[in-house]
Amino acid sequence: MPKCLIVFFSQGGTTGRIAASIAQGLAAGNHVVDLHNLKEGLPPDPGAYDILGIGTPAYNFRAPFIVADYLKRLPALSGKPVFAFMLEGAYGGDAGNDVRRALAAKGGKEMGYERYHGADYFLGYLKHGYLLSPDAPKPGSIARAEQFGQEVAACCAGKTYARPEYDPSPAMIYHLERFLTNRFFIRQMYSRLLWVNRKKCNACGICVKLCPTRNIREGKGGQPRFGRDCMLCFSCEMKCPQDAIASPITWFMFWPFMVYNTTQASRDLSIEHVRVVHERGRTSVVKTEARKGN
Ligand SMILES: Cc1cc2nc3c(=O)[nH]c(=O)nc-3n(C[C@H](O)[C@H](O)[C@H](O)COP(=O)(O)O)c2cc1C
């Protein structure tokens, strides 16, 4: 039986759920599948597998750095069948393209690409009162993912693959947002500005456990100390039950982007949203506006 490795990054669980459904589809097509979330560390050597799948959420209209770094480190794929999938809260921009291009550059032979909606727990939007694509992925997407897995299995077995075009590049303003969240700024500026309120922090350690890049260590009295390897996922700040962590996401200069993005998404009939309040690590829905979405 052909062996498939699916490597993905999932902080909120939606990319993981889609990965598991794709795995079911591949298994139905007689493949043995191993799943690996990059937040658990490095995956097994893809050389031991016949097929490699990569799943990514969109982070600031690109693939998150943890995924980009993994792709960079991959050895030459020399014609190995590969596939990719991307989760987006609203507009994924180049996230899927980043993965597909990196796999192609390594010599992978693309056998499938799909995109799905995933619940968007981006702290900037939550603080602005919006949760985009709540409850996603929905059952329709889960079923589509399983079908996608079967399709990949069929293409690897010789069925003709109709390669989709790359996703359209995002609008200019999203390029600017992407630029403002580039690695240089994160290392040299934002990561130095992560801040913990020592009076509020009760050293619960949640932020340390959640950080996907292991950038947070326990400092004096068990309170967090931040390094420079932040990837701006904001999980630490979002999940802090004491609201003790602050980051540049609430800065005045970013606010117009939050307003623009959430206004665009809330006017887009293909994207569901609910109004929320985010406090003490919890997101509570205050108003539901029923939309179709998937
Ligand atoms: C830090 C951060 C940045 C995000 N940036 C984007 C984005 O640029 N475009 C988009 O459509 N969704 C964006 N999202 C939403 C995620 O891509 C989406 O919710 C995805 O389903 C999350 O995957 P996960 O649940 O597996 O972690 C962002 C989410 C976070 C946390």
What does the pLDDT look like over 99-131, one tens digit per residue?
999 999 999 999 999 999 999 999 999 999 999
Residue 169 has a pLDDT of: 87
Contact status, residue 125 vs residue 132, Cβ threshold 8 Å: yes
Contact 127, 278 (CB under 8 A): yes
Question: Is the CB of residue 262 below 6 angstroms from any atom belonging to ligand 1?
Answer: no
Tokens coding 247: 């980051």
Residue written as token pair 């609203």: 90
What spacing in Å lies between the alpha carbon of 1 and ligand 1's midpoint?
34
CB 83 within 8 A of CB 110: yes
Ligand 1 binding pocket includes 134 (Cβ within 6 Å): no
pLDDT of residue 250: 84
From ligand 1's centre to the CA of 111, what distance in Å? 24
Mutate to test the pocket of ligand 1, among 36, 88, 115, 260 (most ligand atoms within 8 A of CB): 88
Residues 223-265 pLDDT 10s: 999 999 999 999 999 999 999 999 999 888 899 999 999 999 9
